[in-house]
Structure 1
Amino acid sequence: MSVASLQITEPQSFFSRYLRWLDVLDPTALLSSEAEVENSRALLEKLGSANKYLTQDKKVNDAQKLCEASLHPDTGNAITTLFRPPAFMLCGTPLAIAALLPHTRTIPAFLSQFLFHTYNAGFTFYNRNVTCKPNKIQPFQPMLLFGYATYFSVLGALPQYLMNKFPSAAMQTFMGRILPVPLVTILSAMNVVAVRLQETEDGIEIKDKSGHVIGVSSQAGSKAVKETALSRAMLMGITAMIPVALHPLLSRSRFILRNSKALGPIKCVATALTFGAMIPVSFSLFPRQGTILRSELEVELQGNTTESVLFYHRGL
């Protein structure tokens, strides 16, 4: 099943895409059996292009949502349950809380960062554009992903190490409150770029409005990776900013002055709510079926079609 068949009814406006993702991210989709997923796929394949006229039919709409939540748009194969879009909230929320909230020692900070970046790398890998045909074989892809996660985890835990080594007030303020937000924002974007770097080098398939493959474009690959990296950076940047912004406000409140131990749980809840609320916003920021102008393609590809706008699968 191609991206065209899965997303033929993808809304064009941000708000419409946001509402659609609210439905697709329903965690109960993870409980669907393989048979239910296959039945939904069979229904959409049977309808073919006619399904865009039947989106008001509840059965067809439910089948589309289940397929979008469970199947990879490029291959039609089922995505590993742990890395399906609805699982991102369930698995990512506790990892984001552990990675963003303060620690007292470097090792726990590193471990929380490692789990967070490992899961994000896995999610990016399983939801990437798989039409990329690598020019170089990479037999050690899992080890490469492990290396990326380790590298980003070291950088993420570095502020905690410096805070412990240099316990001055200025260092505590800078490393504990100022640096974490831009750091996690940049690292989250770098995570996406590192995992999907091959798409920018070897290119991804681009299609016309009829679904015919025009060629493989590295320009489209770069655009897809850039958009996904920006959406992930926004997700983590805003999530990281909320507990930092709340700290000075809450710490002066009467309730916290009387119950200082409540500050930590409140920040955890705020982080979880922000992360959960921002996931559909992040996924909706750019269309999953991306577009690129023919004039932006490589010169050798521009002659393959007369259409002014081409399509590609952006990935998540």
Structure 2
Amino acid sequence: MDANLRFWRAEGQSFFQRFLLWADVLDPLLLLKSSDEIRRTRLFIQNSGKTLSEPIKNDQTKQAFLLSLSSVHPDTGKIIPVMFRPPAFLPICLPLVIVSSLQRQAKKNFFCQFVFHMYTTGFALLNGNGTTKAEEYSVQQKQIFYGLGAISYAACIGALPVVFMNRYMLKSSLTQLVVQKLLPAPLLGLMSAFTVVVVRSPEFENGIEVMDRNGMVVGVSQKAGEKAVKETALSRAVLFGTTFFVPTVLMHFVERAKFWRTPHSLASMRMLAITSVLVGMLPVSLSMFPQCGEIKRADLEPELLSSTEETELFYNRGI
């Protein structure tokens, strides 16, 4: 079992522990570390002989693990490209979400949604489970092909409310509230979950590795892959659905106040609301499920039951 997974298993047992860890891991300053420094950090972790049987009290060791968690894939051991590391997720996604929420032209809204889903899909692909058991080249081709289709579909669905409003010029205030303000939030959440499921489909089609408590690989499980993808998709839907919904509801009441009538002030408040919700919801959504996921032995495939007597097995959930 990789050191990253051992760390999550030892230090991230509860939601609160995972939340505090993610708050540190998402620090954008970690993006400034060079590849050589990351490799030296990984070597330090490996040579330190830390068993992680008890909480880490040494600050140097903890900082080394935070850099490893933010930069290295726990399955492959490779350094993740800078743009797709967890600390880069917020700085890149935030302007895309804000622009998408403010855009009222169908073509521009589609383009913004396309760029947004392209990034989040690439993030899901590069931070997914890296132990999919199939021919690597064919799996990567399939994921890229499926991903492009999912991105295009998600962008089209996400732009539908704007298209509908521009084409039919709805006069009913209730219909405008539902179509223009309330509908985009669940659509963005559902489409974000959809792209995760599509791009990581090889995980539940071919299975991912499951390990015992000692980190020894027991076998490959499709059910573990399905569980990992479902949990990640749900967390992504909650993240972006909430990020769109809460500011929309807040701005609906703000717009009704007579002293908030200027377009610039309304736009500024909307951007501030989206920023605040996204900053708060990102570590919350990532903490919903453990990174080192658990699955009961009884839930595994019959052919794996004879491979171990342990009641619980572990796998990398991905991000």
Q: Same fold (TM over 0.5)?
A: yes
State the SS of the aligned residue for 1:287.
Answer: coil
Gaps of 5+ in 1: none
Cα deviation code 1:72-129 (max 9, x no counterpart): 0111110010000000011111111122x14231100100100110000010001000
Matching residue of 1:249 = 253
* Aligned-partner Cα distance in 1 for 2:291–2:313: 13
Partner residue, 2:190: 186
The residue number in structure 1 matching 2:152 is 150
How far 1:133 moved relative to its partner?
1.3
Map 1:125-164 onto structure 2 (within 5 A): 125-134=125-134, 137-138=138-139, 139=141, 141-164=143-166
Paired with 1:15 and 1:5, the residues of 2 have a C-alpha distance of 18
- The whole-number CA distance in structure 2 between the counterparts of 1:189 and 1:66 is 27
Distance change >3 Å, CA 305–CA 28, structure 1 → 2: same
SS of equivalent residue, structure 1 residue 120: helix
Look up the SS of the partner of 2:10 in the other structure. Answer: coil
Check whether the contact 1:206–1:215 (CA below 8 A) recurs between aligned residues: yes
Normalised by the length of structure 1, the TM-score is 0.94
Q: Which residue of 2 aligns with 1:13?
A: 14
- Count of residues paired in the alignment: 314
Cα distance change, pair 217–254 in 1 and its aligned pair in 2 (3 A): same
Q: Give the equivalent residue in structure 2 for 1:217.
A: 221
Helix, strand or coil at the partner of 1:290: strand
Contact conserved, 1:181 with 1:241, CA < 8 A, in 2? yes
> Which residue in the other structure is 1:234 paired with?
238
Structure 2 residue corresponding to 1:167, chosen from 160, 166, 169:
169
1:189-208 alignment runs, 5 A limit: 189-208=193-212
Pick which of 127-136 and 84-93 moved more: 127-136
Map of 1:71 onto structure 2 = 72
Match of 1:270 among 264, 270, 273: 273
2:314 equivalent to 1:314 = no
Change (3 A) 1:6 1:208: same
Residue type of the alignment partner of 1:220: A
Q: Secondary structure at the match of 1:28?
A: helix
Amino acid at match of 1:117: H
Distance 2:73 2:58 in 1: 23
- After superposition, what is the alpha-carbon deviation per residue over 1:158-180, rounded to whole angstroms, capped at 9, x for unaligned? 11111111101235333202211
Amino acid aligned to 1:233: A
Tell me the alpha carbon deviations over residues 114-153 of structure 1, each in whole angstroms, 9 at most, x when there is no partner.
0110000010001000101136924354343222211110
Q: What is the CA–CA distance in structure 2 between the aligned matches of 1:254 and 1:164, rounded to whole Å?
A: 26
Letter in 2 for 1:84: R
Letter in 2 for 1:142: I
Contact between 1:44 and 1:51, CA under 8 Å: does it hold in 2?
no
Distance in 1 of aligned mates of 2:20 and 2:49: 24
Of residues 72-81 and 240-249 in structure 1, the stretch that sits farther from structure 2 once superposed is 240-249
Q: CA deviation at 1:10?
A: 2.9
1:194 Cα deviation after fit: 0.7
- Deviation digits for residues 1-50 of structure 1, max 9, x if unmatched? 72544535332110111011111111100000112111110111112343
**1:50 alignment partner AA:** T
Q: Tell me which residue corresponds to 2:90.
A: 89
Deviation, 1:295, is 0.3
Once the two structures are superposed, residues 249-306 of structure 1 have per-residue CA deviations (whole angstroms, 9 ceiling, x without a partner) of 111224303x343111110111011111111111111000000000000011111100
CA RMSD of aligned residues (A): 1.7
Counterparts of 1:28 and 1:209, CA distance in 2: 33
Per the alignment, residue 44 of structure 1 pairs with: 45
Q: Give SS of 1:50's match.
A: coil
What is aligned with 2:28?
Answer: 27
1:70 touches 1:84 (CA, 8 Å); kept in 2? Answer: yes
Task: Tell me, yes or no, if the aligned pair for 2:193 and 2:237 is still in contact at 8 Å.
Answer: yes
Shift of 1:53: 4.4
Q: Distance in 1 between matches of 2:62 and 2:103?
A: 45
AA in 1 matched with 2:155: S
Partner of 1:306, secondary structure, is coil
Q: State the shift of 1:54 in Å.
A: 6.8
Q: What is the distance in 1 between the residues matched to 2:52 and 2:309?
A: 27
Amino acid at match of 1:122: G
Q: Secondary structure at the match of 2:99?
A: helix
Gaps of 5+ in 2: none
TM-score (normalised: structure 2): 0.94
- Percent sequence identity is 39
